[in-house]
Amino acid sequence: MEDFESLRVFVCVANELSVTGAARRLGKSPSNVTTRLQKLEASVGAELLVRAGKSFSLSAAGEVFLDYAERMLSLRSETMHVVSGGRSPGSIRIGSMEATAASRLPGLLAAFHTSFPEHGVDLTTSPSIRLLDDVRSGKIDGAFLAIPPSFIESPLSEKLDVLGLEFHNAWEESLVLLHPEIGIENLGLDDVSVNKLAAFPLGCTYRRIAEEYLGIPERKEWEIQESPSYHVMVALACTGRYATVLPESVYQTLLPPDNLKCIPLCKVTTKLAWRKGYDTPVFEDFRNTLNRNLV
């Protein structure tokens, strides 16, 4: 098996899908990156990356190997940090919903950097369902996610106990429905006349809540436009043909025009999730910073 540096090179190329981009991030020459990849593939006896000109894609073996490579690198970092008693610089990989990254994390990450400038944070965003899977698999160390109230109140919530995760309540978000109605006071859900919803792809907790409140599963006339960002969702709502759901904390940062009406829906708790037993000094520093900023 190649050394950890070769694993780090492979993970970077797999994320960038470009030798040039990976070389730039790693501070290496493209030829050095290519050589390490070739030696790694020879060592494992499988093609990990499919080359098509200057572009790359992961092979089936590469998809599997990437998961293990990320876990091995994470375990190495965790081990080195623990045996040093937290004295050495460390880093953590945090996942987040888009809404939390936009409205809550800037202040938290700034406070963490101020208190622990020697530590680093790698941040990625995904829907809550994917974040749960990524924490369980070790792809990330922790994640800010939300679980639909209807799930928590159902017998299915017992499944959370067997995921091998711990949860810590972070923020309570007030969800609102943005709806393009003009001249209607005290607007309610019964006044929603559009039949199109702008939302993130499947796996997004807020999308599921919107579908439940609007009765979309039972109403075939509804269409869902999957959107890449809240800015796009608000823009679609401004056309007069779409509704969208988002946290009030995000709504306040977007300054939407006056033709959009805001209907309160419900409150949802954003939780920090991590694997049981994952208790490195750097992650403890991160959780302590979170707790201080929640006061």
Task: Give me the phi and psi of 96, to 5 degrees please.
Answer: -155, 150
Instruction: Give 95-147 pLDDT, tens digit per residue.
Output: 999 999 999 999 999 999 999 988 889 899 999 998 998 888 788 889 999 98
Do the beta carbons of residue 262 and residue 255 sit within 8 Å?
Answer: no
Average pLDDT, integer, range 215-219: 82
Residue 22 has pLDDT above 60, yes or no: yes
Pairing status of strand 55-58 against strand 49-52: antiparallel
DSSP 3-state of 2: coil
Place of tokens 């950097």: 113
Q: Which of 49, 58, 94 is nearest to 74 (CA)?
A: 94
Which pLDDT band holds residue 224 (cuts at 50, 70, 90)?
Answer: very high
Q: How far apart are CA 126 and CA 259, in angstroms?
A: 30
Instruction: Quickly name the fold that domain 1-83 has.
Output: Arc Repressor Mutant, subunit A (1.10.10)
| Mean of all residue pLDDT scores within the chain | 83
Please give the pLDDT value at position 179. 79
Which pLDDT band holds residue 7 (cuts at 50, 70, 90)?
Answer: confident
- Which of 43-57, 181-195, 236-250 shows the lowest mean pLDDT across its residues? 181-195
Residue of higher predicted confidence among 204 and 158: 204
Please give the pLDDT value at position 151. 65
Do the beta carbons of residue 196 and residue 222 sit within 8 Å?
Answer: yes
Residue of higher predicted confidence among 197 and 27: 197
Q: Which of 13, 29, 109, 124 is nearest to 69 (CA)?
A: 13
Please give the pLDDT value at position 188. 56
Please give the pLDDT value at position 208. 92
Residue 190 has pLDDT above 70, yes or no: no
Residue 174 bridge partners (DSSP): 267
Instruction: Give 267-288 pLDDT, tens digit per residue.
Output: 999 999 998 888 788 898 999 9
Residue 224 bridge partners (DSSP): 197
Q: How far apart are CA 216 and CA 250, in angstroms?
A: 24
Under DSSP, the state recorded for 111 is H
Residue of higher predicted confidence among 192 and 286: 286
Please give the pLDDT value at position 194. 78
Q: How far apart are CA 115 and CA 137, in angstroms?
A: 29
Please give the pLDDT value at position 1. 42
Residue 93 bridge partners (DSSP): 122
Please give the pLDDT value at position 92. 86
DSSP run (H or E) holding 61: helix 60-83
Give the CA count within 13 Å in the CB-facing half-sphere of 39. 14
Please give the pLDDT value at position 246. 93
Whether CATH 3.40.190.10 fits 174-267: yes
Q: How far apart are CA 13 and CA 33, in angstroms?
A: 8
Q: How far apart are CA 158 and CA 149, in angstroms?
A: 13
Provide the 10 A C-beta neighbour count for residue 180.
20
Same fold? 1-83, 174-267: no
Domain residue ranges in the chain = 1-83, 174-267
DSSP 3-state of 208: helix
Cβ burial of 66 (10 Å; 0-12, 13-18, 19+) is buried
Instruction: Give 59-97 pLDDT, tens digit per residue.
Output: 999 888 988 888 888 777 767 666 655 555 678 889 999
Q: Which of 153, 150, 99, 103 is nearest to 128 (CA)?
A: 99
pTM check: above 0.75: no
Which pLDDT band holds residue 218 (cuts at 50, 70, 90)?
Answer: confident
Residue 156 has pLDDT above 50, yes or no: no
Q: Which of 219, 177, 172, 181 is nearest to 198 (CA)?
A: 177
Average pLDDT, integer, range 231-256: 88
Do the beta carbons of residue 58 and residue 50 sit within 8 Å?
Answer: yes
Under DSSP, the state recorded for 261 is E
Residue 200 has pLDDT above 90, yes or no: yes
